[in-house]
Each structure stands twice: as C-alpha cells, then as structure tokens.
A and B are shown apart, each in its own frame.
Chain A
Amino acid sequence: MLERRLLSNVPWGMVALIIGIAMIGLTAVYSATYTAHGPSSLFTKQIIWVCLGITVMFAALIPDYHTVGRYAYVLYALSLIFLLLVAFVGKTGMGAQRWLPIGSFAFQPSELAKLSLVLALTRYFAEDPKQGGYELKDLLVPGVMLLVPLVLVMKQPDLGTALMLVFTSSLIVILAGIRFKTVMTIVVLGAVVASAVFLVPPVRHKIWKSLKPYQQKRITAFIDPSSDPLGSGYHATQAKIAVGSGQTTGKGFRRGTQSQMAFLPERHTDFIFAVIAEERGFIGSSFLIVLYVILLLVGVDAAKSAKDKMGTLMAGGIVSMLTLYVFINIGMAAGILPVVGVPLPLVSYGGTSIITTFLAIGLLLNIRSRRFMLFY
C-alpha cells in the first residue's frame, strides 16, 4: 500500500534529479539521431521508454522492498530463462545475439540479468549473515549464481555486460563483508590464473580465439588506437576527438560536427556521452557528472539509513551497479577505459536499459522512503 506517510517520505529532490538527468539524455538522443529529414523515430521511441520508465519507477515504490527481496530468486530464474531464449531464438545485431523480438520491439535480457543478479545476491547475503565476514567456501553459492548468467552472456557474446556482472558482484561481496584473508586468497588465485592466461601461450591463444574478431580488435585498439584508425580504434579515436573538440563551452546543440557528421559510431547508445561532451563542452559534461555523483551519493545515503540488512545490501548493490555503469561508460568515451558496450544509465538510447535503470532507481527510492518504518 502506498500510504500517505510513505508518500511524504519519498525523497522528491532525488526524483527531480533523476528526471533531470533523463531530460538531458532525451535532448542528447534528439541531437544524435537527428536526420536530414527531421527528428528520428528513435527519439519518439525514447520518449515513450522514458515515460514508461518513470511509471515503472513509481510502481516500484508500492511493494515493500522485502516483498521484492522475496521474489528475487524468481526474477533471477526468469532472467536466466530469457537469456537462454536469446541463445536460441534471439535476434542478431552487430555480430552478437542479444535481443529477443517482442512484437516490433527488441528486448535485451542481459540488461535485466544485471539487476536480477544484484537482487538475488542481496537476498542470499541478507539471509546468510556470517560473523566476521565470509570465507571462500561461503562464496560457492553466490559464485554459481554469478557464473550461470555470466556464461550465457559471454556466449552472446557481450563482453560489456559480462564485465559488469563480475564487477557488480565483487562490489556486493565486499559490501556484504568478506574476510581479509579471503580477499587475499582470491587476489592470489586471480593472479595465478591471469599469469597462466597471459604467460602460457597456448592458454592465451585459446582465450584470445574465443573472443569475436571485433572484440579482439577493440582490445588491441585500446592498447594502441593508432594500430587501426579505420576499424576499432576508429570508435575510440572519434570519441576522443568529439569530446576534446567540445572544448570549454561546447559547439552548441545539434552543432557537434563529429556527432552530426556520423563520424561517431553508436552515438545514440554507447557513445552518447561523447555527443553531450562535444555539444555542451567541459561545463556541460562535468555538470552531468556532478548530477550523477549526487544521485549516487544519495543512493549511498539510502543504503546507510536503511533499517535492515536487506535494505542496506539492496541499495548498496544497486548503487554499485549504477556507479559502474556511469563510470565505465564515461571512462570509455573519455578514452581511459577500453570500448565495451555499456549504456549510460537514464541517457543512452535503448528501451530495456532505460526501463531496468528506472526500476533499479525505483527500488532505491523504495528503500529510502521506508527508512523510518519498522518491520516485524
């Protein structure tokens, strides 16, 4: 029930902030997709996604987040089924099979998988507290929970989502509490595996071979962008030129030569930040980063003020996920991280990403709004 008392506890400032970021996103998508014949239909679609997303966000306020936690495993199982479906009947795009056609829309289950993994891990750790932190053997079940969607996502292949799943899960484990000894064990194990991969040529070769050619190219292009300025380095180089040439004040709305001239690939999805940076300059791009930082810190505060472990972990997990999204995406556009396909939350074009982000933020608001309540 959405009680009046709850309503008064909703952090309306935060809601305004979220909608503000989404509006900046809409103008950027408008500019990035503008065609010679006027605004693109993608822009209209994005408006619909944002409106749907806002509705979903408010809907996510209604049930108690404990109820959401109760259904976490169901949601997790559901997203695995979707991922399996993608493997069999999915639509192919850009050399990878990531979308499920639903009517005339394409649904991208890997986006849902990220959120549902966060919720599932939250529930697992909230129900299984350990004094003094988790040991390696306690991480067996969460490890499997991560591994199943990870393998399915890698198969698509979607390197960006795979990395997101690993990083987000790691942050959740750290939040949930892990013995220092266990961290060291994992680091040492990781180092051994990594050196085996990089130092033993047959193993390295095998792993390298398992990547799609475009992924290989992106990795080499990150290490040396000039190696292939027309191919994969092209993305990175063009993005950097777009960002840099925005200078302090930007070239102005719809005046970004890089983005308007279609030099910039994926400009309405993964590289939307470059469009903003080019057209709004340093002032505009750092303003957007400040908005994100405020949103994320308010999220951290929501986790801190939550009344129980479930709320703290859920909020902490969601904030971790959003943090990674935001920074990996912007880091990629700014040329300090390799090009992996990760959308900028609330801004990048894409229905599934927009709606799952709003759903995640809705849960955050949910936890925040119930900070004064008592649970029995």
Chain B
Amino acid sequence: MQQDSPIDIQKRLPLLAAFIVLFAIVLFFRLWFLQVVKGATYQELAESNRIRPIKLRPPRGIIYDRNGRPMVENVLTFDVSLVPEDAASLEDSIARLAPIVRMKPEAIQKALDDAEAVRNKYEPVKIVEEAPWEEVAAVEARQDDLPGVIVEPEHRRYYPYGGMASHQFGYIGKVSQVQKKQEQADTGLLIGQGGLEKVYDRLLRGTAGRRMIQVNAAGMKVKDLGIDEPKPGTDLYLTLDLDVQRAAEEALGDRAGAVVAMDPNSGEVLALVSHPTYDPNLFPRGISPKDWVKLSNDPSHPLYNRAVQSVYPPGSTFKVVVSLAGLDSGKIDPHDTVTCNGSLRTGRKVFRCWKRGGHGVVDFHKALVESCDVYFYTMGDRMGFDYIAQYARKLGLGSKTDIVLADEKPGLVPTAAWKREKVHEPWYPADNFMNAIGQGFLQVSPIQAAQMIGAVANGGVFYQPLLLKRTRNRETGAEKVFAPMEKRRAVFAPEALEEVRSALLGVTSEAGGTAHGAATPLAPVAGKTGTAQVIAQKVPGTKLTESTQDHAWFIGYAPAKDPKIAVAVLVEHGGHGGAAAAPVARKVIEEYLLHAGTKTAQ
C-alpha cells in the first residue's frame, strides 16, 4: 500500500494558476493594443498591404546534341495578363485593354470566365500570349490606366528543328489536375508530357522564383519589393548527333518508318528517327483541340515512336539469327550445300524462294549474301524453331532494350508452347519454314534490330541504349556524366561470328549481294536486308497498293572490321530492303564517318 502525500506539489499549483492568469492578461492587453488601439492603422495596412507574388517561371533546361549544339531551346516572350481581383473596375480595365491588344472586350471577358473555374484567387489570367512588342510597351506605358493588367515574362519552349527527333524529345504541356500532386507541380506549369521532356522533367524543370510587387487598393503597382530569382533547369547533353539525325531524317524523307543508329561500343544512340513526325512547337502553348484531333486520328499515327513502340516481322534480317544459331551450335557446317530451285515443298505446301529461278547450289556464305530462302527453310527445318528461338532471345529479341523512352514494345519470339497457348494450334513444319526467314509470328522493333546487329559487330556485348550523355547545371556548372551501361554479354564461337560477319560484308560488296545500296567508298559496310511481307502471298497479276506493299529493312554496321556505328532502318511499305532501306543506312553511315566528333557548337 502506497499513499504518497500530494500536498507538497499541491502547494505549488497556485503558481501554475497564477502563471496562466498572468499570461492571459498579457495577451489580453496585447490584443487590445493591436486590435482596438492600433486597429484602424492595421486596417489601413491590410488595405494597402496587397503584396502580389508574381510567379517567375524558370527557363527549362536546354537539350543539346552530343557536340553541344542546341536541339531544344527556350525563347523569352511576354504575356499580357489580367488579375481580376486587382481591377478597381473590371469593365473599365477590359475596355481600355481591348484596343491595345486588338481584341474585342467580349473576348477578354470570355477568357476570364473560362479561367474562373480552375484559377486560384489573385492568379493572373493570360489574355494575350506571346504579345507583340508594341502591345507589351503600350501596356507598360499605360500602367496607371490599367489596374489589374500585368505583363508576365515567360520562357517559351522552342524546338528549332520542328519535327526532327520530335518523338525522342516529346513535348511539354500544362500539368493536368491528376498530375499536379504526383508531379509536385502547380497550376499552369508546363511539364514534360512525353519523350525525354517527360523522362527528365524533374531535371529540366528548374525551380520557380517570384517577384513581389506591392499594389494599392485599386490594384495598381506601387512598388517592386524584390525578386527571388528562379533557378533554371539542368541542361541535357544527349548522345544524339545533330548531323547524323538530320541525315537520317532526310534520307527517310516522307516515307513512314524508323532509323536507329548506335555506337556499338557503348550503346550511345546517335540517331533515332520515327516518321511521320509532328511539330512539338504545337504543344507548349496548349495544343488546339482541332490540331489534337488531327494528330491523334491521323491514320499514319504521327504520335507513334516507331523506333521503339512499333514492331514488325524482321523478314530476312532474321537470317542473321538463324545463321548464328546454326554455326555456333555446329548444326550448320558452312561448307554444306543446298540446291535451290526456286522453291521447296513440304507436305502439300510449296515455299518459294524470293528468286524465282532459284540460286542453284549454295553454301552458307552464298546463301546469306544472296539471302536464299530455300537454304534457310532447310536450316530452319533442320534445327527446329524452338532451338533458333533460344538464339533469338540471346540476341535480345523478345525483350525490351530498356531505353528510357516510354512504352517500348518487347516484340515477340514465338515457340511451339507459345503457339499452343495463344493460337491454340500445334507448331507445324511450315512454321519452321516461315519463321526461319523472319515471317510468321516474329515481331521486332527497330531499336532491337539495331541493338542486335550492334552485338554481332562488337562480339556479343549488349548495352542499354543510352540517350543522355551528361547533364550540366547552368548555375554551378556542375556536370554529371553517364557512362555506358553493359547489360550482358552473349558468348558465341569466334569462328561462327567471323563466318557471319564475312557474309554480312559480302551482302554489300559481292556479286549477288542484296544491299549494294548500302555500300560507301568511305568504309566497308556489313549488313543484311530484309523484306517483310505485309500480306502472305500476292495474288498474281495484281499490283500492290502502298498499304499492302512489303516493309523494307536494313540492319548493318561500319566499318566492317572496326565497327563504329550500327544502323537499323525500317521503311514501312517501302518494298525491297535492298532498294528502299539500304540507301538510307548508307547516308547515315557516311554522315557519321565523315563528321563524327568534328562539328561542335559555333
């Protein structure tokens, strides 16, 4: 039993009570002084104390190419805005502003009404964006007549090359209500909505500053109270080479398709093209609904980044995979020959070689150089496709390259098990035939194709495709360099690789080779063409319309002995790979080999 006497403590409790009462009296007198004695003064202060923070948006980081030439920039523009709460008489302000900015008063009123639902109190409403200089000057000069009207400087995003590489840069747009929280962005902020603008948005964005101005009760500026400078965004230096990118864009021209050029020794992406393109300059000011509908409903899908988001049957470029599978495993002896009569029969079906008259007797080298279908039907049948599929995966097909761009497609490497599950059919011998020449179920994206041929060039090293070479903080000059990222190494028998490489060189240089169009006097080029059928078999005597024409592929690297660039070209409905795709690759290779590293910013 414990019974402490609380008496001691209770003696001291009045002290606490006294403290409470004393402090309350102090507060009481303080409030009486502030609110009653000085109340009128503070009331006046509250009236005149109208400090408006004007948000100062920082310029977004600039995006440069690998040699420091700007590919995405900012231009300083001025907007004329109105803060309705600051206008003593909103009607007067509107009436006076209208003639200056050459708008109808009703149009200004409508702009205000439209903004009302999403606007915070005292948030300016933009009346004229990118106002011409005379209008800005007139507004500044007539400040006193225009209570509530302010001029806001804005750094407008500008893509000087329009549609060039637009899928890689993406675009910026107003932050949506949903994004506001997760992106920690405030109303009206323009943030990256696609491509690199989105991936590196936090770096590019910078930190907003503010300018404080004091306005009087009539909403007119009384004085500047100071500026809290915004911090500009971090600049990005990409791996892209402006010249190579431009050469690739021009070589592809108006045709739909994709070009990927990479440094096979580092995974650095030198050019990444997807056509058709769109103009990202449409977006920063808020794309008009009309333009948006036009872009998103365009049957040629200009918003699609074909280089990473589209997959196609690889056609004969897949013969590189079959070749490596056969030679590396020893299931193909390079000296074995097959006689091509122009077709091969299995069961009741006849499979044609692309060359009607046949290639005659072909060994491995000649078969790959001349892309003999009958030879590869034979080899596909000999190995079985499940076996080849292992090599396809080893070469990176069927899985993402992990480039930072969004929505990359993994493509497809079919197997018997896959077919049973998805198509509910067994794997027929015909499937071995078709898939061995890259038709059938196979699906490959251009970036995968470039990575694959790059790995053939460098002996089996797979790099994560790199787009960002370094970042630079504009204020501190601090740089961060991104090193190549090796994902894995695939091991192949050196003789097998040599045999394949030698045949790939033959493709552009030997009699009968299918890609003489890729050859350049600058360096020996190794590569492989592909023609991916869009429809299974053409009806004799009909002419193919554009949408049923075959896709043209070329994958290759140069110089053949010391590879510095790996390229994949896909021309949608371009026809023959040798005729349509190989010359594009040649232009890209030539531009790179001629100018690599020699051009820098002026």
Contact = CB atoms under 8 A, between A and B. Distances in A.
B103 interface: no
Nearest to B3: A308
B285 interface: no
B122 A262 contact: yes
B225 interface: yes
A312 B28 contact: no
A261 interface: yes
A39 interface: no
B35 A277 contact: yes
A304 B10 contact: yes
B203 to A, nearest CB: 19
A300 interface: yes
Interface in A304-345: 304, 306-313, 316, 319-320, 323, 327, 330-331, 334-336
A289 interface: yes
Contact of A247 (B9, B26, B40): B40
A171 B16 contact: yes
10 cross-chain pairs, A with B, having the tightest CB-CB distances, nearest first: A244-B42, A247-B39, A245-B46, A309-B4, A282-B35, A312-B6, A245-B42, A244-B34, A245-B43, A327-B23
A177 interface: yes
B494 interface: no
8 contacts: A36-B116, A175-B16, A263-B49, A277-B31, A285-B31, A286-B32, A296-B20, A303-B10
B225 A327 contact: no
A275 interface: no
Interface in B1-29: 1, 3-6, 8-10, 12-13, 15-17, 19-21, 23-24, 26-28
Given A36-B119, A246-B35, A247-B43, 5 more contacts: A238-B49, A245-B42, A245-B46, A248-B39, A300-B17
Majority secondary structure of chain B interface residues (helix, strand, loop or mixed):
helix
A260 B46 CA distance: 12
A241 B42 CA distance: 5
B181 to A, nearest CB: 11
Contacts of A257: 46-47
Interface string A194-214: 000000000000000000000
Interface in A244-274: 244-248, 257-258, 260-263
Given A242-B46, A376-B1, A175 B23 contact: no
B393 interface: no
A308 B4 contact: yes
A282 B32 contact: yes
Contact of A309 (B6, B35, B45, B117): B6
A316 B120 CA distance: 46
A310 B30 CA distance: 37
Given A245-B42, A282-B32, A282-B36, A263 B10 contact: no
B20 A300 contact: yes
A112 interface: no
A243 B42 CA distance: 8
A312 B7 CA distance: 9
Contact of A243 (B3, B35, B228): B35
A312 B9 contact: yes
A175 B6 CA distance: 11
B226 interface: yes
- Interface size band for B: 35 or more
Contact of B13 (A37, A293, A304): A304
A312 B225 CA distance: 54
A227 interface: no
A230 interface: yes
A173 to B, nearest CB: 11
A318 to B, nearest CB: 11
A262 B49 CA distance: 12
Interface in B548-585: none
A358 B508 CA distance: 83
Contacts of A11: none
Given A309-B4, A311-B6, A175 B12 contact: yes
B179 interface: no
A289 B13 CA distance: 20
Contacts of B31: 243, 277, 282, 285-286, 289, 334
A175 B34 contact: no
B538 interface: no
Contacts of B40: 247
Contacts of B28: 286, 289
A375 B3 CA distance: 8
Contacts of A17: none
B9 A177 contact: yes
A175 B9 contact: yes
A37 B119 CA distance: 9
A246 B38 CA distance: 10
A281 B31 CA distance: 9
B508 to A, nearest CB: 58
B323 to A, nearest CB: 53
A285 B28 CA distance: 9
B51 A310 contact: no
Contacts of B405: none
A175 B13 contact: yes
B404 interface: no
B35 A331 contact: no
